[in-house]
Amino acid sequence: MTKLRGLYTGLLAGGAVLLAGACKDNRDTGAVNTKTAEGTSSAPAADLPENRDMALVRVINAIPAGGPVVILAGDSAAFSGVDYKTATPFREIRDDRLKFKLGSAENPLAENRENLDGGGHYTIVAMPDAGGADKRNLRVLEDDLKPVTPEKARVRVINAVPGDLEISVFVRGREDALFDGVNFKSEAGWDEIDPVAGTLEIRPEGKKNVLASLPNVKFEGGKSYTFVVAGTPTKLEIIKVEDDVAKSTM
């Protein structure tokens, strides 16, 4: 397998993904303004939910079939009606060791257990499973959101396309890839890059043909960008989430 630059990969256990530990230091994160295809939203400074023993959680639906999804935290619906290619705003959820479920409490299509830290930011990615149309995966990412220097943009990529396809991510016209060899269910961890604008391209690892593209992407200094590559091996799509993280005033 090609070595990933900045790879941060969860261990797989059945249909669930074992997750990385949460970051403990959230106090330097102020309010987070998020921009997606659905619009803009804001989350409070990390110290506010932390003082209420709450974490900040959002969901990205990267499942192209099956309609809107429901995500439960424990046995209660935390997110409902999340359409494909949609990223929800952050919402506060009690910091605890929770089992997240996709579907119903009695017959979930996927499950994942995670320790949530007060004030921490988490993104749940609902994605298909290579084992069949009736299977799903839940990946929970500790976002490690923090202020970024104005001279750099932070970028990460998640491959949510089931199968053996390894993807590389380029800005059109640039020789070097932003990320190389990202496997299904893998997250290429945060990388800091110089601000740049152009068309984002998804290519098969080691090849030049373009599987999907996103025009007019601006990587602005001081901002963080999450890209989820979704769809099927024959039709890839790109979900973009932009976070502008303020520095805490504490």
What's the average model confidence in pLDDT over 63-89? 94
Q: What total number of domains does the chain contain?
A: 1
pLDDT tens profile 5-18: 333 333 333 333 33
What's the average model confidence in pLDDT over 26-33? 79
pLDDT tens profile 171-214: 999 999 999 999 999 998 999 999 999 999 999 999 999 999 99
Using CA atoms, how far apart are residues 202 and 200, in angstroms rounded to an integer?
7
Place of tokens 């299509």: 109
Q: What percent of the chain has pLDDT over 70?
A: 88
Which H, E and C letters describe the chain, residue by residue? CCCCCCEECCEEECCEEECCCCCCCCCCEEEEEEEECCEEEEECCCHHHHHCCEEEEEEEECCCCCCCEEEEECCEEEEEEECCCCECCCEEEECCEEEEEEECCCCEEEEEEEECCCCCEEEEEEEECCCCCCCEEEEEEECCCCCCCCCCEEEEEEECCCCCCCEEEEECCCCCCCEEEECCCCEEEEEEECCEEEEEEEEECCCCCCCEEEEEEEECCCEEEEEEEEEECCEEEEEEEEEEEEECCC
In a 13 Å sphere around the CA of 61, the CA atoms on its Cβ side amount to 23
**pLDDT above 90 (res 151):** yes
pLDDT tens profile 107-136: 899 999 999 999 999 999 999 998 777 789
Using CA atoms, how far apart are residues 194 and 91, in angstroms rounded to an integer?
31
* Domain assignment present for 45: yes
What's the average model confidence in pLDDT over 223-234? 96
Give the C-alpha distances (Å, rounded to integers) separating 39 from 65, 94, 115, 122, 158: 23, 26, 29, 19, 21
* Domain assignment present for 2: no
pLDDT tens profile 229-244: 999 989 999 999 999 9
* Domain assignment present for 1: no
Residue 25's domain spans which residues? Answer: 7-247
Using CA atoms, how far apart are residues 101 and 71, in angstroms rounded to an integer?
6
pLDDT band of residue 66 (cuts 50, 70, 90) is confident
Q: What is the pLDDT of residue 249?
A: 64
CB 228 within 8 A of CB 9: no
* Domain assignment present for 191: yes
**pLDDT above 60 (res 3):** no
* Domain assignment present for 77: yes
pLDDT tens profile 50-61: 999 999 999 999
Q: What is the pLDDT of residue 192?
A: 96
Average model confidence (pLDDT) across the chain: 88
Q: At 49, give phi and psi (nearest 5°).
A: -65, -30
**pLDDT above 50 (res 21):** no
* Domain assignment present for 204: yes
* Domain assignment present for 76: yes
Q: What is the pLDDT of residue 59?
A: 98
